[in-house]
Structure 1
Amino acid sequence: MLHFTDSLSRMCRVSGLAMMLALPVAAHAQDEVTADTVVATVNGVEIKLGHMLMVRAGLPEQYQQMPDTVLWDGILDQLIQQEVLAQQPEAVETNRVKLALENERRALVASERLAVVSQDVVTDEAIEAKYAELFGSVEPKLEYNANHILVETEEEAAALVAELEGGADFEALAKEKSTGPSGPSGGALGWFGEGQMVAPFEQAVMELEVGAVSAPVLTQFGWHVIKLNETREKGAPALEEVREQIAGQIEQEGVQAMIKEYVDAADVTKTDTNDVDTSVLSNLELLEE
């Protein structure tokens, strides 16, 4: 009955001329309105622009992209319909509604407080300090870029080494012979650092010169022939690369610290789970009492 999409579909059929005529009025009124501006009344009860703004803010993403000229009547019609129904003598504020409103108010007020805390703790100074804490003492580490061919036996691996020494193309052999998941991409492993590969493989890579091919290497996965393509030193990331990540960490830590501080200072009592039958949490019929 109160489907926003019904009103919205109807509004989408408004002629282009009607929308064009509405635009100057909206633009003219924009400088004069506030959230308390009354946009409709239902039996004397005011519906304000702020009510419409809250509905618009909560719309699904597909509606957020629609023009205001289309959304206006859809939102206003929904609010009018809801108010008309809420005013009916048979419409009562049940216990379910009362509890839902209390939860909603609690959540919204808490959210507003969290937003302020988040804004206060995430500053440029805090981000720079956290960056220095996380990355200030990071020493550059050597990373390796390699390809490999994985086969089942040492004999197969030795035959591959011989082919490569004879001038065979490493990537072509990997595509043809490798049983590993990197085979179709020529055995490419990309960049990796110390501790990211199994020990025998890592040791063999570290002992290779750039451009060299290893002797057969045994790991729990089988026999490998490895070619080291290049190496590089990887230091700390630039601040701008991790700014968003650090800001998120600061925000999370700040919010958690604030909540703990408030909870510790509050006079809180909780029902012990040993003193209650927790299965009542699934008894939604209690809301009807």
Structure 2
Amino acid sequence: MSSDFAAPVASLLRAAIVPAFLAVSLTAAPVWAQSEEAAPAEATEQAAPSAPAEPVSPDTVLATVDGVEVTEGDLVLAAEELTAELQSIPAEQRRGFLLTVIIDMKLMASAARAEGLDGSEDFTRRMAYLEDQALRRAFFNSIVETQVTEEAIEAAYQELVADFTPEPEVRARHILVPTEEEANEIRAEIEGGREFADAASEYGTDGTRANGGDLGYFSSGMMVPEFEQAAMALEVGEMSQPVESQFGFHLIYLEDRRLAEAPPLEEVRQQVAQQVLYESYEAAIEDIKSGVEIQIDDPELAAQVEAQGGI
């Protein structure tokens, strides 16, 4: 994006995001402080403002607006709230954009106080909601997230592995063509000595042709029934007759059979960590709820909340 175009985009974004910025984000860490495990490096770079090379204290004053200080910590909060908007701003301009947004916010807030808007019923109600939201985030970060330790992840993984039941799975290649006649002609070529993968690369009509028709390993329930039944019935090294499915006609070549193994922890670490986080959250909520009376007057609304585990 050119700098000429970035300027009006930034102005439009500033105007659009000020109301949204008044809400407190539940993001666990500032955008530029996320670890590589939390987000791919490329995505982080796209979303993050360019940060100073050296760590900066959140109390570092960046500007003053009519005597009110704007700090590095304010920029962190703004970055958490405006992750999506920052993707439209060149990386080298993001800190300036955030500071501009905060300055605008301070000016508008000061003007609102001068108009007495900080004493309105709507403002009081909104502030109470935002305070609860911020405290919820603080509780989540301090109590819930801290339960996601390496030991907890390892324990959860071992529990999953212990419950893992190996299932038969097969590895197959296929060639998908529109008609049975084409499938039979290709089958004759292969029987005449042509490699199945070569024929799949030439004749296949789906995305697997780039890999010689390779479908990788799959187990029961992962393919359409007609295809799965035919593939599972083959012997290793055997090619099927044309098999019709909703996609066309398939020739299937079975390459291997095996029992599936549990994936190594490093492949599923993120999913296991998410499970630990969810279980920690659920346990914390249940503990807080115990002994607390929750009453919802509308029976229909109460039923909806109960169905979602809210009461």
TM above 0.5, yes or no, is yes
- What TM-score range do you get, normalising by the shorter chain? 0.5 to 0.7
Question: Which of residues 64, 67, 76 is equivalent to 1:40?
Answer: 64
User: What is the CA–CA distance in structure 1 between the aligned matches of 2:10 and 2:246, rounded to whole Å?
Assistant: 59
Counting aligned pairs with the same residue, the percent is 31
Distance 1:128 1:7 in 2: 47
1:3-14 equivalence runs, <5 A: 5-6=10-11
What per-residue deviation string (whole Å, max 9, x for no partner) do you get for residues 238-285 of structure 1? 11111111111111121122112212322332222469xxxxxxxxxx
Structure 1 equivalent of residue 238 of structure 2:
212
Cα deviation 1:89-148 (Å, max 9, x = unaligned)? 454532222221111111111111011222332122221221111112435444322223
Indicate yes or no: 2:81 matched with 1:58: yes
Q: 1:92 to 1:121 in 2, by over 3 A?
A: closer
In 2, the alpha carbon distance for the partners of 1:85 and 1:129 equals 54
Q: Return the alpha-carbon distance in structure 2 between the equivalents of residues 4 and 163 of structure 1.
A: 59
One-letter amino acid of the structure 2 residue matched with residue 119 of structure 1 = E
Give deviations 1:57-88, integer Å, cap 9, x for gaps: 43432459446873586256325412431342
Query: Aligned letter for 2:220?
Result: E
The 1:195/1:242 distance shift into structure 2, 3 A limit, reads: same
Gaps of 5+ in 1: 10-25, 276-289
- 8 A contact 2:175–2:209 mirrored in 1: no
Aligned match of 1:94 in 120, 138, 141? 120
Match of 2:156 in 1: 130
Residue aligning to 2:269 = 243
Q: Which is worse superposed, 92-101 or 147-156?
A: 147-156
Counterpart selection for 1:145 from 171, 195, 209: 171
Larger CA deviation: 246-255 vs 156-165: 156-165
CA distance in 2, matches of 1:172, 1:128: 44
1:154 and 1:41 map into 2 onto residues whose CA distance is 76
Normalized against structure 1, the TM-score is what? 0.65
The question of 1:259 aligning with 2:285 is answered yes
Q: Aligned residue for 2:48?
A: none
Structure number with greater Rg is 1
Aligned to 1:197, what secondary structure does the other structure show? Answer: coil
Contact 2:75 2:95 in 1 (8 A): no
> What stretches of structure 2 of length at least 5 have no aligned partner?
1-7, 15-51, 302-311
Deviation at 1:47, TM superposition (A): 3.8
Instruction: Pick closer, same or farther for the CA change 1:92–1:208 going to 2, 3 Å.
Output: closer
Q: Which has the higher contact order (CA 8 A, sep 6+)?
A: 1
Aligned residues: 250
Structure 1: distance between partners of 2:297 and 2:216: 55
RMSD after superposition:
4.3
| Pair 1:4–1:108, CA change in 2 (3 A) | farther
Hey, what's the Cα distance between the residues in 1 that align with 2:192 and 2:75?
Answer: 76
User: Does the 8 Å contact 1:140/1:234 carry over to 2?
Assistant: yes
- Change in CA separation of 1:209 and 1:70 when aligned onto 2, cut-off 3 Å: same
TM-score normalised by length of structure 2? 0.61
SS in structure 2 opposite 1:265?
coil
Letter in 2 for 1:263: K
